[in-house]
Amino acid sequence: MAKLAAGLRHRDWDGPALAGSSSSVADSRPADHAFTCRPAVFGDSRQIARFTCTAGEGLYEFLFDNLIPFVGAADFLTLAVATPRYPVSFSNWFVAIGDADGSIIGAANVFPADLLKHDDHAVLPLERRTHIRPLLELQDWGSMFLNALAVSERHRRCGVGARLLAWAEDKARQAGLDRLSLHAWADNKTAVDFYTKRDFVPLGVAEIPHHPRLPHVGGSILMRRNVSFR
Ligand SMILES: CC(C)(COP(=O)(O)OP(=O)(O)OC[C@H]1O[C@@H](n2cnc3c(N)ncnc32)[C@H](O)[C@@H]1OP(=O)(O)O)[C@@H](O)C(=O)NCCC(=O)NCCS
Residues 46-91 have pLDDT tens digits of: 999 999 999 999 999 999 998 899 999 999 999 999 999 999 999 9
Lining residues, ligand 1, CB within 6 Å: 1, 29, 54-55, 149-151, 156-162, 182, 184, 188, 190-191, 194, 197
- What contacts 211, CB < 8 A, 6 or more positions away? 62, 131
Q: Looking at the predicted structure, is the pLDDT value of residue 201 above 50? A: yes
Task: Please tell me which residue, 29 or 185, carries the higher pLDDT value.
Answer: 185
Ligand 1 atom closest to the CA of 160, numbered from 1: 7
Phi, psi (5° rounding) for residue 150?
-150, 145
Distance 70 CA to ligand 1 centre (A): 34
C-alpha to C-alpha distance for 108 and 94, rounded to whole angstroms:
5
C-alpha to C-alpha distance for 145 and 89, rounded to whole angstroms:
14
Residues 131-149: what's their mean pLDDT?
97
Q: Looking at 15-19, 89-93, 102-106, 142-146, which range is the least confident one?
A: 15-19
CATH placement of domain 23-177: 3.40.630.30
Buried b / exposed e over 2-22, threshold 16 CB at 10 Å, is bbbbbbbeebeeebeebeeee
pTM equals 0.90
Q: What radius of gyration, in Å, describes the C-alpha atoms of the chain?
A: 17
C-alpha to C-alpha distance for 46 and 43, rounded to whole angstroms:
7
Q: DSSP for 67-101, please give it.
A: SBTTB-HHHHHHHHHT-TTSTTSGGGEEEEEETTT
* pLDDT value, residue 1: 57
Q: Looking at the predicted structure, is the pLDDT value of residue 224 above 80? A: yes
Separation in Å, CA 41 to CA 32, 44, 47, 107, 206:
23, 6, 11, 12, 33
Q: Looking at 10-24, 52-66, 87-101, 105-119, which range is the least confident one?
A: 10-24
Domain limits of the chain?
23-177
Distance 118 CA to ligand 1 centre (A): 32
For 97-101, the CB contacts below 8 A with 24+ separation are: 97/35, 97/36, 97/37, 97/38, 98/32, 98/33, 98/34, 98/35, 98/155, 99/31, 99/32, 99/34, 99/35, 99/36, 100/31, 100/32, 100/34
Please, are residues 177 and 22 in contact by the beta-carbon 8 Å criterion? Answer: no
Q: Looking at the predicted structure, is the pLDDT value of residue 209 above 80? A: yes
Q: Looking at the predicted structure, is the pLDDT value of residue 32 above 80? A: no
Q: Looking at 4-13, 40-49, 102-111, 144-153, which range is the least confident one?
A: 4-13
Q: Looking at 14-28, 154-168, 191-205, 210-224, which range is the least confident one?
A: 14-28
| Cα-to-chain-centroid distance, residue 124 | 20
Provide, rounded to the nearest whole percent, the portion of the chain with pLDDT above 70. 87
26: pLDDT confidence band, cut at 50, 70 and 90? very low
Residues 115-135: what's their mean pLDDT?
89
Ligand 1 atom closest to the CA of 162, numbered from 1: 12
Residues 193-220: what's their mean pLDDT?
97
